[in-house]
Amino acid sequence: MSCVRDLPQSAAEFFEGLNEPHQSLSLRLLAWCNEVAIAKGCKSKIVDGYTGMPSGYDNIPQLIFAEFHEAGRAVANSRLFSIPLRCDEKYPLTIILPKWRDIGNESVERGENGFRPTELTEFLSAPNQYF
């Protein structure tokens, strides 16, 4: 899992601990996230979590992709997306995008401050249909 080795330790451990098919899906997701983040000049970092996320993802540690100040905090409104470090039967592996990126796709679950595609494989096939 080459793209995992560059992640913060807790994120790397999470992704390496996933079973198939989640591990393969996570590699696709991470590759896409890294490609977009690099193009936008953003980096990744683990945060303790946010509130106002779609159901089941509040206060879950997340790998966020954003611009960061030297002090380590994300620059306001620079978060591209985040990956909650949660994957189970009820709350699957997903990506969360900030609310301001929502274009009204019907195949998403919304929270107060973000939304996620209901089917990650569909999102990865056509991300521009979601934001």
Which of the four pLDDT bands, split at 50, 70 and 90, describes residue 2? low
Q: For 28-56, what is each residue's pLDDT tens digit?
A: 999 999 999 999 999 999 999 899 999 99
Q: What angle do CA 122, 28, 120 make, to 5 degrees?
A: 25
Q: For 65-99, what is each residue's pLDDT tens digit?
A: 999 999 989 999 999 999 999 999 999 999 999 99
Cis peptide before 117 (omega within 30 of 0): no
Stretch (H or E) spanning 38? helix 22-40
How many beta carbons lie within 10 A of that of residue 114, not counting itself? 27
Q: Which residues pair with 98 in a beta bridge?
A: 114
pTM, to two decimals: 0.93
Residue 88 makes CB contacts below 8 A (sequence gap 6+) with: none
DSSP state of 126: -
